Chain A
C-alpha cells in the first residue's frame, strides 16, 4: 500500500513568517511530487511540482525533495492570510496513467 503522510495540523503561523509543510512517502520508486492548495469548499489547485532532489523555487514557494529520506516539503515565505488553506502533498504512483496518491493534507492558518 503506497502511503503519503502529512501532519494534519493545524499549523498556525503569524503573517510574514515562513510556513513549513512536510510530507513523507512510502514508495521509494516514486518519481514526481506535487503540492496542491485547497481552500475550504473548493477543489485543489496546483502550486508546484518537483522531480529532482534539492530545492525548487517559485515566487514565495519553495519545494524541497530528498528522495533518500523519502521526504518532500513546501516552504511558504512571507506568509499571508490568503495562504490559509489545506495543503495537499501528492506523489506519482507510477504506471502509464500517472495516478497520484494524496496525503490527507495539512491545514495552515496564517494569523494577521
Chain B
C-alpha cells in the first residue's frame, strides 16, 4: 500500500519551454501532496504543499507563477515548470500523505533544461 507514481521519470527540454510533471497516489486518496526539489548532493527542499481543490501554499523563495501546481483530485497533483531555464534542472520529487502524518514519496522526475 501507499504507492505514489510520477510521470515522466526523466525529461529533457529546451530553455523557454514548459514542462508538466504528474504525481499520482495509486492506492490511497492523498489528503495532501508535497513537491520537493533536490539538487545534486543536497537535501530535499520543499517547494509547495497542495490540498485537493485548494490553491497551493508555496515556500518562501519559490515563485508560484513559475512553478504552477494543480491538485485537481485526491489522487492527482501536477507541477508545471513554466519557461524552464537551465538553472531549473533538478530532481523533482512529490510525496503524498494519506490522512496520517507519514509522507510517501514518488520515484522522482529528473529534469534537464538545455
Q: Which residues of A are interface residues toward B (Cβ below 8 A)?
A: 32, 34, 36, 42-46, 49, 88, 90, 92, 97-100, 102-105
A98, B32: Cβ atoms closer than 8 Å: yes
B34-47 to A contact mask, C-beta < 8 Å, 1/0? 10000000111010
* Known interface pairs A34-B103, A43-B107; 4 further A-B residue pairs with C-beta atoms within 8 A, sorted by A's residue number: A43-B105, A44-B105, A88-B43, A100-B46
- With most chain A CB atoms within 10 A of its CB, the pick from B44, B46, B97 is B44
| B-side interface size class | 10 to 19
Q: Which residue of A lies closest to B104 (CB)?
A: A46
Contact residues, B32-81 vs A (CB, 8 A):
32, 34, 42-44, 46, 49, 51, 57
A92, B101: Cβ atoms closer than 8 Å: yes
What 5 A-B pairs are tightest by C-beta distance, nearest first?
Answer: A43-B108, A104-B43, A43-B105, A98-B101, A43-B93
- Which residues on A sit within 8 Å (CB–CB) of B34? 99-100
A103, B43: Cβ atoms closer than 8 Å: yes
- Which residues on A sit within 8 Å (CB–CB) of B44? 44, 88, 102
Closest CB in chain A relative to B99 CB, distance in Å: 10
CA distance A42 to B107 in the complex (A): 7
A97, B51: Cβ atoms closer than 8 Å: yes
Partner pick for A104 among B32, B42, B104, CB 8 A cutoff: B42
- With most chain B CB atoms within 10 A of its CB, the pick from A34, A45, A100 is A100
B72-110 to A contact mask, C-beta < 8 Å, 1/0? 000000000000000000000100010001111111100
Partner pick for B105 among A45, A92, A103, CB 8 A cutoff: A45
CA distance A38 to B93 in the complex (A): 12
- Which residues on A sit within 8 Å (CB–CB) of B57? 97
Closest CB in chain A relative to B76 CB, distance in Å: 18
